[in-house]
Amino acid sequence: MIGTRLITAAVLLCTTQVWAGGSGQANGGQANDDLRKAEAYHAARWDPIHFKPAIDKAKDEQCLACHQEILDRRVLPKTPAGVPAEETLAWYQTLTTYEGPQETFHRRHLVTSLAKQVMNLKCNTCHQGHDPREEASGSSATAQPDLTMRKVVDPQICLMCHGKFDAQVMGIPGDWYQSAKLFNNDCLTCHKTIRTNRHQVNFLKPEAIEQAGAENSDVCFGCHGGRAWFRVSYPYPRHPWPGSEGPVPDWAKDRPTESPARFRLDTGPEAQPAQKERQEKAS
Ligand code: HEC
Ligand code: HEC
Ligand code: HEC
Ligand code: HEC
Ligand code: HEC
């Protein structure tokens, strides 16, 4: 009896050693590698760059050092049901600005030709920190309330470029699809002189937008109703413009007159420190 117990203890000791990876045997080496990989994975997953304040200063190259796959990945050549991608067109792909074969979400916002021409989106324009553990936000007492779920960004950001065309505010009889003809299909019929102080934010290219929009109003419409994912419009800040000195219309009474601080050229992450100081003193 005592003999068997001793043997059991010895076997246990042996296996514990192998399990802890201390013995240098084949299995132990494997376990060690797995452990190291798991540690590296968790360290990367919890890398402070995913959270405030580090994420606000993160450069795209830093994120891409670990996440290059989001630009390399391509859409499936065929849907799971067997429909070839090149034979399908969604409604938003019929805008005249839509170019090339189908592309992934990230590529359409970062590297396709229209994206590069008129936008300057960065990872942290959209990604503002997420909860690595939570599939659903706020599901525990210790969850951080200001973090979004994994793979989710604040939809207000999307709404800025994918909201409904606000015909009511513009005093236009109906949606642009119906009324474009009345105005020669040209937004600049009015916007040469109305709300001309626009797009001065760090994720857009204002001069390129005006140039492209003057040639083809679908460029403008694309971000202001032509690719609408929402049934509401974005309440844009109403920047004063030369000629705007009249009474403020009722709908605009609660509107900000400047873009959110992190997007502004004088207060965003690219702002010169001296500029920032002046700004802080002034406010
Ligand atoms: C050191 C490597 C590393 C860096 C740098 C890094 N990440 Fe990550 N990130 C990870 C890992 C690992 C995960 C977990 C992936 C998983 O569980 O599939 C992750 C998860 C994410 C997720 C959640 C998606 C998911 O699948 O859970 C997002 C969004 C994300 N990262 C964005 C960013 C952004 C934006 C930056 C730059 C500000 C960044 N990451 C920088 C390694 C990194
Ligand atoms: C226009 C806003 C936007 C920009 C810009 C953006 N992302 Fe995302 N990202 C999203 C959204 C929305 C999702 C969720 C998409 C999904 O689940 O399919 C996402 C998902 C991810 C994921 C999860 C993995 C995946 O593919 O679903 C990673 C990692 C990630 N983004 C990294 C980045 C990095 C790195 C950059 C900069 C090079 C970047 N993102 C730029 C909005 C953006
Ligand atoms: C700064 C403006 C801007 C923001 C912010 C923005 N988008 Fe876009 N989005 C565009 C433009 C422009 C295109 C068309 C790009 C092209 O045709 O190459 C586009 C295209 C798309 C497409 C079509 C992709 C395809 O398969 O062709 C989807 C889906 C989309 N956006 C969803 C979103 C979501 C979700 C968000 C928020 C996370 C978002 N967008 C934020 C401007 C924006
Ligand atoms: C008939 C003249 C007219 C035409 C044509 C027109 N707009 Fe407007 N737009 C206006 C007026 C008026 C306002 C509100 C001005 C103010 O703030 O008092 C406005 C406001 C806007 C706003 C800001 C809305 C808000 O809620 O603050 C956007 C964005 C806009 N127009 C985009 C466009 C685009 C894109 C087109 C072409 C597809 C277009 N407009 C065509 C007259 C026009
Ligand atoms: C790539 C997307 C994109 C394109 C293209 C675009 N816009 Fe915009 N526009 C935006 C965004 C985002 C804002 C809000 C920016 C901010 O926060 O100040 C905006 C704001 C505006 C405003 C409100 C101005 C104010 O008071 O701040 C008007 C008017 C407007 N756009 C008209 C146009 C016209 C006209 C064109 C074509 C010449 C055009 N947009 C093309 C994305 C776009």
The pLDDT value given to residue 1? 39
Query: Tens of pLDDT along 169-189?
Result: 999 999 999 999 999 999 999
The pLDDT value given to residue 277? 64
The pLDDT value given to residue 18? 38
The pLDDT value given to residue 14? 37
For ligand 1, the distance from its centroid to the CA atom of residue 202, given in whole angstroms, is: 23
Residue 60 in contact with ligand 1 by CB distance below 6 A: no
For ligand 5, the distance from its centroid to the CA atom of residue 78, given in whole angstroms, is: 35
For ligand 4, the distance from its centroid to the CA atom of residue 120, given in whole angstroms, is: 23
The pLDDT value given to residue 28? 79
Q: Which ligand is nearest to the CA of 178?
A: 4
Q: Is 177 helix (H, G, I), strand (E, B) or coil?
A: helix
Instruction: Give nearest CA residue, ligand 5 atom 39.
Output: 220
* Alpha-helical segments (H) within the chain: 2-20, 26-45, 54-57, 60-67, 69-72, 105-110, 113-118, 123-126, 155-162, 167-170, 176-179, 188-191, 206-215, 217-221, 273-282
CB atoms inside a 10 Å sphere around CB 156:
11
Residue 157 in contact with ligand 3 by CB distance below 6 A: yes
Which residues of the chain fall below pLDDT 50?
1-24
Instruction: Give nearest CA residue, ligand 3 atom 9.
Output: 109
Residues 6+ apart with CB under 8 A from 106: 70, 71, 73
User: Is the CB of residue 221 less than 8 Å from the CB of residue 207?
Assistant: no
The pLDDT value given to residue 120? 97
For ligand 4, the distance from its centroid to the CA atom of residue 271, given in whole angstroms, is: 29
Query: Any idea which residue has 């600049």 for tokens?
Result: 188
CB half-sphere exposure, 275, CA atoms < 13 A: 9
Of 108, 114, 223, the one to substitute when testing ligand 5's pocket (max ligand atoms within 8 A of C-beta) is 223
Q: Is 263 helix (H, G, I), strand (E, B) or coil?
A: helix
Query: Tens of pLDDT along 33-87?
Result: 999 999 999 999 999 999 999 999 999 999 999 999 999 999 999 999 999 988 8
Query: Any idea which residue has 């296996």 for tokens?
Result: 15
